Every structure is written in structure tokens, then in C-alpha cells.
Amino acid sequence: MKAKTALTCAAAVICAGAAIASGSVVAQVRSLAMLDKLEQGDWELRLHDEASVPRRICLRDARRLIQLRHPGQSCSRITVEDTESQVTVQYTCRGHGYGRTQIRRESDSLVQIDTQGIAEGLPFAFAAEARRVGACTS
């Protein structure tokens, strides 16, 4: 019985993978409510593994953090994980690349971001901390 169950599970995974690859899967819509809890305002984005200058963004909608390397592009999204403290979203921007982003909430004004994918034909991967630093100026 266990072998039959394992075979059924393996077949389901293979079929799901094929459906995703063919683009025939309708993404399950989830609320990503954790992102709604984050405070709006001016946020500072600081990469963990670089000595770069922190970047500031005016964050009115925290879903913007999902596509940091594909800003403003209309991309399809699949929610992989959606909990009180963490979301993981995989997205595809046809003709422009794709990404997978995990955002972990430490507080309503501090998150950790881990993202990777392809943008403009080149791979990217980075981990960053985003912290609210005040009100948006524009």
C-alpha cells in the first residue's frame, strides 16, 4: 500500500511539474496578508553580501518587494508559501525573466528578503534587509 501511495504522489509531482512547465497551471490566489501588515513609508534596502550604498524606496504596497529586479513589470505569480511571518512567491515576466522571492517579517518595519532569478538575460541572487526609515517624501 505504501508503494502505491508513493507512486501516486510521485506521479502527481511529475504531472504538476509538467503542467507548470507548459504554462497550463492557474496560479492559486492567496492573500499574502503578511505583506499587508508592513508599514507604508520610506524603506531602506541594504544588501547583506555587498558593501553597496543602501537603496531607498517609497513603499505604499509591500508586494513591490517581491519583484525588486523586475520593478513595474506585469508578471504572473505563484504563491509558494503564505504564513503569518513569511511569504515565498515565484514569478515569471514573459520575455524579461523570472524570479523567486522569500520575504520574512521580523516586525512590521523590518523584513529579510532572499531573491534569485534571471533579469535582462543575466542571473541574479541576493539577500537583503529592508527597514522602514520614515515617511515617503514624494
pLDDT in tens, 96-135: 999 999 999 999 999 999 999 999 899 999 999 999 999 9
Domain assignment of residue 7, yes or no: no
Residue 31's pLDDT is 83
Percent of the chain with pLDDT over 90: 69
Tell whether 20 is covered by a domain: no
Pairing of strands 97-107, 110-119: antiparallel
**Confidence class of residue 19 from pLDDT cuts 50, 70 and 90?**
very low
Element (H, E) at 6: helix 2-22
Would the pLDDT of 85 be above 80?
yes
How many folded domains does the chain comprise?
1
* Phi/psi at 67 (5° precision): -115, 55
Q: What is the pLDDT of residue 14?
A: 42
> Can you give the pLDDT at residue 49?
77
In a domain, 126, yes or no: yes
Q: Is the pTM of this model over 0.85?
A: no
| Burial environment of residue 34 by CB neighbours within 10 A (0 to 12, 13 to 18, 19 or more) | buried
In a domain, 4, yes or no: no
User: Is residue 78 a part of any domain in this protein?
Assistant: yes
Confirm whether 6 is domain-assigned.
no
Is 14 part of a structural domain of the chain?
Answer: no
| pLDDT confidence tier of residue 15, bands split at 50, 70 and 90 | very low
Indicate whether 60 belongs to any domain.
yes
| Over residues 34-45, mean pLDDT | 96
Q: Which domain holds residue 122?
A: 27-134
